[in-house]
Amino acid sequence: MNSTSKLRVAGLAIILAWGWKRAGLALFAGALSALAMAPFNAWPVLFVTFPIAVWLIDGAAAGKWRGVPAAAMSGFWFGLGYFVPGLYWIGNAFLVDASTFAWLIPFAALGLPAYLALFTALGFALARLLWTRDASRLLALAIGLTISEWLRGHLLSGFPWNAFGYALSEPLALAQTASLIGLWGMTFLSVAIFASPAVLIDGSSRGRKPWIAPLAAVLLLAAMGVYGAVRLSLQPTVLTKVKLRIMQPNLEQDAKFNYSAKADVMQKYLTLSDRASGPQSTGVRDANILIWPESAFPFFLTREADAMAEIADLLPKGTVLITGSVRAPEGPPGARITRAYNSIYVIDHDGSVLSVYDKLHLVPFGEYLPFQDWMEKLGFVQLTKIQGGFIPGTRRRAMDIPGAPRALPLICYEVAFPGSIATRDDRPGWIVNLTNDGWFGISTGPYQHLQQARLRAIEEGLPLVRAANTGISAVIDPSGRIVARLGLGLEGVLDANLPTALPPTVYAQLRDIPIVVIMAIALLLVIRRRLVRRTA
């Protein structure tokens, strides 16, 4: 029996599977697919798992209502298998205050993946509605899953983490296509390319040349690689004279919310920020911009005069600090503070606050609760324990930084959302992403976060500077090259010059218009194949 015959036997076995065997196959394929994400980046596994998805939808035809419910169930199990190992690290956040939140770990580890798997189920169901009996069904699956992944990134505040398009973000040459079509375009290509081996079992009954689709997929993958390699060669890293220093404290998470640790936290920040990084280093005096991570202090920074004075003493003339901090809303002196903003401050060498940004896209259950008042009455509280939840900011805007290009501030997982991070009429010169990945411990989560931040740089053609409490802090050029980085779980400082920005990319100018056009053409091709088949 040759390899094609073996593949056909395996495919038919999956197509004919039913019941728990079918669910187990989908669960296994989804779990294996998680290896395509950072830090493993083993994207070739998708050449095995996505064909299984195709065959499961093929087999759904035996079910009722044109097989749509059966396809949706396969999609749910595939999604559950994908999201549980891909997002297991979220459970670590509930161990920071284990006495309060540990009982919620099963809900986080299984409940969130189960919710996200509903979108994968929708993608499979949409694909089944468009399904054909030839290679065009690959496009049907790509359309269905791209729509469902887009919805996952937008509905109910959105959570586009580990979208399938990130599978093509490594090696770096493949990721350059994101400058043309963004994450959702990469998602469409990922599904279509990796699902292509499924048609090798079709034989002459579904097309005389079933090898054409896999060959076209390989050629497309190669074309992406060539385009990326040429783009990288034509756009080398160019550094400005702006000197950055990123401080990564690797601070225990509970210390960041403990007011009694105020003096120790400040002393650590001040000492570490001024640490020499080499024989020629003179500490913070080498830097034009010092950057501290998200929510750096267990207190309201600007209401602590001694802390502001210490920062002023640290900063030499001509150096500014960009730091995260909770910010109290405006109110009369002495008024009780019940809510706060998650903010970024730009502070001058004399202790003056030059600019403030308040986080717009808050984390559900981390920074606020859905139906906040009602859930608080039931005794629930979000991870940050801010009564009433954090207050969202009102608008996204670039910040003025003395001696440097205007910077677009993004706090934590705001960097995971493509397309809305830079406005056309207020294009910044770089992106600064402050985060506190200490919630997630030494896990795959911070690697995935870095992967997503890097793709934002490529999409926008902007350098991105990332300061994380426990890591991974990095300076990334506008083509996605990591110029400098400080690893996960390390304490230290990272010195680097700010890279220069590129001209606006195709994606920065057109956003999702190219992928909408591509999907519309794909949809017309699928509909045409269905009509031809029906007429025949």
The catalytic residues are 294, 359, 412
Amino acid at 329: P
Q: Give the C-alpha separation, 508 to 501, whole Å.
A: 13
Q: Reduced to 3 DSSP states, what percent helix, strand and coil does the chain have, rounded to the nearest 5?
A: 55, 15, 30
Cβ proximity of 202 and 211 under 8 Å: no
Query: What residues contact 444, with CB distance under 8 A and at least 6 apart?
Result: 37, 38, 39, 86, 88, 89
Cβ proximity of 314 and 273 under 8 Å: yes
Q: What angle do CA 13, 18, 23 make, to 5 degrees?
A: 100
Nearest alpha carbon to residue 140 among 152, 124, 160: 124
Query: What residues contact 393, with CB distance under 8 A and at least 6 apart?
Result: 341, 343, 357, 358, 359, 360
Sign of torsion, CA 421 249 438 376? negative
Query: What residues contact 225, with CB distance under 8 A and at least 6 apart?
Result: 171, 173, 174
Q: Give the C-alpha separation, 480 to 10, whole Å.
A: 39
Q: Give the C-alpha separation, 40 to 85, whole Å.
A: 12
Q: Give the C-alpha separation, 259 to 239, whole Å.
A: 40
Ranges of H-type helices in 130-211: 137-152, 172-175, 178-195
Nearest alpha carbon to residue 80 among 106, 114, 54, 53: 114
CA neighbours within 13 Å on the CB side: how many for 363? 21
Nearest alpha carbon to residue 142 among 194, 181, 182: 194
C-alpha distances in Å from residue 10, one per residue of 4, 15, 70, 128? 10, 9, 20, 21
Extract the tokens encoding 124.
């499979």
User: Number of helices and strands (H, E) in the chain?
Assistant: 17, 11
Rg (CA), the chain: 25
Q: Give the C-alpha separation, 7 to 124, whole Å.
A: 22
Amino acid at 27: L
